A and B are shown apart, each in its own frame.
Chain A
Amino acid sequence: MSSGGCDLDKAIQQLRACRPIPENQVRELCHKARELLIEEGNVVGVDAPVTICGDIHGQFHDLMELFRVGGDVPDTNYLFMGDFVDRGFYSLESFLLLLCLKVRYPDRITLIRGNHESRQITTVYGFYDECLRKYGSANVWRYCCEVFDYLALGALVSGAATSLVPTDGPMAENTNLDNFPDSDADIEIETLNANGEIMYRYARNSDSQSSQPNSNPASSSPIAPTPSRVGPAGTGATSSANGSVKNDTGAILCVHGGLSPLIDTIDKIRLLDRKQEVPHEGAMCDLLWSDPDEIEGWGLSPRGAGFLFGADIVKCFNYKNDLSLIARAHQLVMEGFKEMFESTIVTVWSAPNYCYRCGNVAAILELGEDGSNAGYQRRSNGDQGGGGGGWILGSNDGSSSNMVGNGNDRRLSSVLGDNMQRTRDGPGRRYRVFEAAPQDSRGMPAKKPVADYFL
């Protein structure tokens, strides 16, 4: 197979039809992929515009649906945050297709590692068995695992726009237009359905909560309106304490799981030796496994392994590293995405009807390109440990907010003008929400359970 040649295109074509490619081609592909990935740093630099995707888990037909909704490679620039394999029935085809696309269009698709891209996990959760079943030997699994070891641990998206260019599309059915912001408003969030119809739009700094969540009386939802603290909270951070000044947004860090107490700057991620099986401990393990939670500071998971981190940790990390948002995957969310901690972190989940039975929708996150701030000098990451004298977080009295108050780095505050009491504006975020692809008959569980004489 020659790189970029027609063999690769043939392989892509074959995989798009959900047909595995021969073992010798897999070996060559994996070899090429490794050569490519070894050149990438632990944290890959990605320029907006980019479309960020969460877990795929071998749901091949839903990956096809994702490409239909989000645009094809190379037209759309993609960033996948890991967990390509296990659980679903087509881990092999899904991962090999993504890998082919990576080798074919290396600058248009970024793959980072999830906790399932590991030998140990894939032997238990399906990928190993699938390779054995489809090839009769574990060779292909072995080649893939070697690629896993070279996948980057994170990505840093720069140049994202603070506001969206509103989609010029039709409104989805049931969309309440009364709640829509004015056409000249600064659009922070937009949610579109799989047909590109606008379901929701939120303007930055809009006092009126233009699209008050759950406020639509016509909603068919059986769910009672959420308490006010969860309603507009997700967008609260960016809508408060800010004038009409447009600011450049900080970078967006993408990791599969979350933060680590061993990592306080992005440069520390860059220093890790990643080319190995995912270890059971250490920073690399945490980046792929940890979860945000409604706690203060750091906590231990009740399972006896794994960290949980609270809003203060995220806000401090974002500030210190000049980030406006952390995007991560790893946890199933019914709505396809979930913003937490005043929109400083978001979980993106891209496997609809997970495990073919959860009935959840999936989402992808589009970040636009910043056209208006071309002259702005981006601060390099992690070289100056925060500071920003007088900067106050909502809850910075915890032990972990060690960066507050050294007061010698005023650059952020000069960018922000007089207002130093806030973090960066988040990037404009367009979520495309989609449902599971119509299932075919091959190996899919029947919707109706088959009656059996169980005892």
Chain B
Amino acid sequence: MSFRNGAPVDTRAPGHEAENSITQNGFKITTQKLPILKAAPIEEMTKQLGITPPEMIFGDNFARVDHVASGWRIEFNAFDALDRVDKTGDSMLKVSYSKEWQQNRQKQFEDIKEVVKPFDWSYSTDYKGSTPDTPKLEPTTKPIPLELLKRPDPILFFDDVVLYEDELADNGIAMLSCKIRVMPARLLLLSRFFMRLDDVVFRIRDTRVFVEFATGEVIREYTAREEKYEVVRKTLAGTKEDVLAIMRDPNRLAEYIPIVEKTTDTVKLK
């Protein structure tokens, strides 16, 4: 066992098996789930990204679909997702009580004005997965065939992989995770970024990847939703629902948050 300032660096909590995989009709589906990164790899990642990674960074985790014959693949991992987070601070949000906090502080400490390493600390990403340059996904108007996915076909493989999560210093939550289910004839992968900044804003950014094994058709849909916290709260207050519970559940929240961006693209693999 090796150490870093007295702390063991290779501890691993039990109950975490690393890789899971299944091959179905020429597509290999792999997920990996490991504990959050340790101090040394976090430092390495910080250097490479140029921003502080989220508090819970599952840097070894991924979900991947490989098309064995063509070598094409789509992978979802934390590093690539975080690489698309704004690193300049241009789209930086502020916590709800920031104004109040700063007004009082600035009078007291005129010398402490510098914001340390500004970046989008909500870790909002428009990540749609990592793919090779060729063959390229091209825009399409054809939607993912939901009816085929509503059928109760047997699920041969299922996993839910968290890529990162941050509690926004107890001001809400930011979380990127991937769900995948593989049926005999097709698969669906959903990568979801969910962010709630308390009293400020909600964001849900979904990337869905659909693969029809027989035809080699891949459809990728990206849907971004966003709404002000207060607007959502007011809408929910008018319902008989448990407002706090819904605000924690992106599945139920989605219908209360309007779509602000949607793109669809596709590729046919041979």
Interface segment, A17-25, A26-34, A214-222, A241-249? A214-222
Place the interface of chain B in its size category: 35 or more
Q: Using Cβ atoms and an 8 Å threshold, which residues of chain B touch A235?
A: 5-6
Instruction: Tell me which residues from 289 to 305 in chain A have a Cβ below 8 Å from any Cβ of chain B.
Output: 289, 293, 295, 297-305
Q: A199-B8, A455-B188 are in contact. Are A307 and B112 (CB under 8 A)?
A: yes
Q: A303-B94, A338-B7, A454-B181 are in contact. Are A219 and B35 (CB under 8 A)?
A: no
Interface segment, B74-82, B103-111, B124-132, B226-234? B103-111
Q: A213-B4, A451-B155 are in contact. Are A262 and B101 (CB under 8 A)?
A: no
Is B34 part of the contact surface with A, judged by Cβ < 8 Å? yes
Report the nearest B residue to A429, measured CB to CB.
Answer: B6
Is A261 part of the contact surface with B, judged by Cβ < 8 Å? yes
Q: Using Cβ atoms and an 8 Å threshold, which residues of chain B touch A216?
A: 1-3
Instruction: Tell me which residues from 353 to 401 in chain A have a Cβ below 8 Å from any Cβ of chain B.
Output: 353-355, 357-361, 363, 399
Is A269 part of the contact surface with B, judged by Cβ < 8 Å? no
Is B171 part of the contact surface with A, judged by Cβ < 8 Å? yes
Interface pair A361/B3, CB less than 8 Å apart: no
Is A233 part of the contact surface with B, judged by Cβ < 8 Å? yes
Interface segment, B11-19, B63-71, B255-263? B11-19
Interface pair B97/A334, CB less than 8 Å apart: no
Is A335 part of the contact surface with B, judged by Cβ < 8 Å? yes
Interface pair A115/B170, CB less than 8 Å apart: yes
Is A145 part of the contact surface with B, judged by Cβ < 8 Å? no
Q: Using Cβ atoms and an 8 Å threshold, which residues of chain B touch A172?
A: 1
- Chain A 168-202: CB-based contact to B (< 8 A → 1; otherwise 0): 00001111000000000000011100000001101
Is B236 part of the contact surface with A, judged by Cβ < 8 Å? no
Q: Within the complex, what minimum Cβ distance (angstroms) separates A167 from chain B? A: 13
Complexed CA–CA distance, A174 and B42 (Å): 24
Q: A357-B162, A435-B14, A447-B15 are in contact. Are A335 and B39 (CB under 8 A)?
A: yes
Complexed CA–CA distance, A202 and B6 (Å): 8
Place the interface of chain A in its size category: 35 or more
Q: Using Cβ atoms and an 8 Å threshold, which residues of chain A touch B5?
A: 189, 213, 230, 233-235, 338-339, 343
Is B214 part of the contact surface with A, judged by Cβ < 8 Å? no
Q: Using Cβ atoms and an 8 Å threshold, which residues of chain B touch A355?
A: 56
Report the nearest A residue to B156, measured CB to CB.
Answer: A451
Interface pair B89/A360, CB less than 8 Å apart: no
Interface pair B121/A453, CB less than 8 Å apart: no
Q: Within the complex, what minimum Cβ distance (angstroms) separates A277 from chain B? A: 13
Q: Using Cβ atoms and an 8 Å threshold, which residues of chain A touch B152?
A: 453
Interface pair A305/B95, CB less than 8 Å apart: yes
Interface pair B4/A433, CB less than 8 Å apart: no
Report the nearest B residue to A334, measured CB to CB.
Answer: B38
Interface pair A281/B36, CB less than 8 Å apart: no
Is A436 part of the contact surface with B, judged by Cβ < 8 Å? yes
Q: Using Cβ atoms and an 8 Å threshold, which residues of chain A touch B162?
A: 357
Q: Using Cβ atoms and an 8 Å threshold, which residues of chain A touch B190?
A: 454-455
Complexed CA–CA distance, A338 and B190 (Å): 36
Is B150 part of the contact surface with A, judged by Cβ < 8 Å? yes
Q: Within the complex, what minimum Cβ distance (angstroms) separates B122 from chain A? A: 9
Q: Using Cβ atoms and an 8 Å threshold, which residues of chain A touch B92?
A: 302
Q: A433-B8, A433-B11, A454-B179 are in contact. Are A302 and B1 (CB under 8 A)?
A: no
Complexed CA–CA distance, A220 and B9 (Å): 10
Interface pair A449/B158, CB less than 8 Å apart: yes
Q: Using Cβ atoms and an 8 Å threshold, which residues of chain A touch B94?
A: 303-305
Complexed CA–CA distance, A194 and B104 (Å): 46
Q: Using Cβ atoms and an 8 Å threshold, which residues of chain B touch A302?
A: 89, 92, 115-119, 121
Interface pair A191/B115, CB less than 8 Å apart: no
Q: Using Cβ atoms and an 8 Å threshold, which residues of chain B touch A124?
A: 170, 198, 244
Closest 4 CB pairs of A and B: A359-B35, A234-B5, A304-B98, A221-B10
Q: Which residues of B contact A (CB under 8 A)?
A: 1-16, 34-43, 55-56, 89, 92-95, 97-98, 100-102, 104-105, 108-109, 111-119, 121, 146, 149-150, 152, 155, 158-160, 162, 168-171, 179, 181, 188, 190, 198, 244, 251
Q: A173-B1, A293-B116, A304-B94 are in contact. List 17 more A-B contacts (CB 8 A).
A: A189-B5, A199-B1, A221-B2, A226-B43, A235-B6, A281-B100, A300-B113, A301-B116, A302-B121, A303-B94, A338-B7, A355-B56, A399-B111, A451-B158, A453-B152, A453-B155, A453-B181
Contacts A/B (CB < 8 Å), 15 sampled: A124-B198, A189-B5, A214-B2, A214-B4, A221-B2, A281-B104, A298-B111, A300-B113, A304-B98, A305-B94, A335-B7, A335-B11, A355-B56, A433-B11, A447-B15
